[in-house]
């Protein structure tokens, strides 16, 4: 069943929409959560919560051509929230590692913490990615959206691990400069 047909089920409030979403994308959605949490049971809970949230969001949203990205974004957000809530009880190694990497992108004059609207930041990252090559975009997204490990990315694209690390390092430097130019600091 293609995305358009599944979205139609959501719009007509047919509960088979969730079963069809799970059938088509469940494995990959669990994978995103598991990359973050390293806990399959909790990942399955995140996946189920994501379906419920998608049910609430469609309509008004109609992700007819990007259903995976839509639900994937939700499950990613849910898994990250689990990380933040449980950070004292359990150390999520990859979440900590990637947070540390992102720290390099924070503009230099960030002396005062400020609530930057999330949408603005996402748009800034979009602008940054637009100027990158497809290869760079894919590696960045696989690392910071999918939470893939360096070795997974290297295997997927036939790169050496050192090449992946170098690409990510350069992209983080580029993102930092881009954010500084855009005034994303106080």
Q: By CB under 8 A, which span of 7-15, 29-37, 46-54 interacts with another protein? A: 29-37
Site string for another protein, 9-28 (x = CB under 8 A): ---------------x--x-
For Cα atoms 21, 62, 148, give the angle at the middle one, nearest 5 degrees: 55
Nearer to another protein, 73 or 90 (CB): 73
Run of H or E including 31: helix 16-37
Q: Are 141 and 68 in contact (CB under 8 A)?
A: no
Nearer to another protein, 55 or 165 (CB): 165
**Using rule CB under 8 A, residue 38 touches another protein:** yes
Q: How far is the CB of 168 from another protein (least distance, A)?
A: 13
Q: What's the N-to-C CA distance of the chain in angstroms? A: 48
Nearer to another protein, 13 or 166 (CB): 166
* Cα–Cα nearest to 146, from 62, 96, 75: 75
Cis amide linkage into residue 60, ω under 30° from 0: yes
Run of H or E including 134: helix 134-144
Q: Are 128 and 105 in contact (CB under 8 A)?
A: no
Q: Which two tokens stand for residue 66?
A: 């990007």
Q: By CB under 8 A, which span of 11-19, 44-52, 61-69 interacts with another protein? A: 61-69
Residues at the contact surface with another protein, assessed by CB under 8 A: 1-2, 24, 27, 31, 34-35, 38, 40, 63, 66, 68-70, 72-73, 76-77, 80, 84, 95, 98-100, 102-103, 105-107, 110, 113-114, 116, 118-119, 121-122, 124-126, 129, 134-135, 137-138, 141-142, 144-146, 149, 151-152, 155-160, 162-163, 184-185
């Amino acid at each position: 069943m293609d995305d358009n047909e599944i979205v139609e089920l959501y719009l007509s409030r047919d509960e088979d929409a969730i079963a069809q979403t799970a059938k088509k994308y469940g494995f990959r959605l669990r994978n995103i959560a598991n990359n973050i949490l390293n806990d399959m049971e909790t990942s399955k809970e995140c996946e189920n919560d994501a379906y419920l949230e998608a049910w609430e969001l469609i309509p008004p949203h109609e992700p007819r051509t990007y259903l995976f990205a839509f639900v994937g974004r939700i499950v990613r957000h849910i898994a990250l929230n689990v990380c933040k809530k449980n950070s004292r009880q359990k150390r999520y190694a990859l979440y900590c590692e990637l947070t540390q990497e992102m720290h390099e992108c924070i503009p230099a004059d960030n002396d005062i913490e400020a609530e930057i609207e999330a949408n603005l930041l996402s748009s800034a990252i979009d602008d940054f990615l637009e100027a990158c090559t497809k290869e760079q975009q894919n590696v960045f997204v696989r690392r910071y959206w999918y939470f893939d490990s360096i070795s997974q990315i290297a295997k997927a694209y036939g790169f050496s691990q050192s090449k992946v690390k170098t690409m990510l390092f350069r992209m983080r430097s580029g993102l930092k400069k881009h954010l500084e130019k855009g005034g994303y600091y106080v």
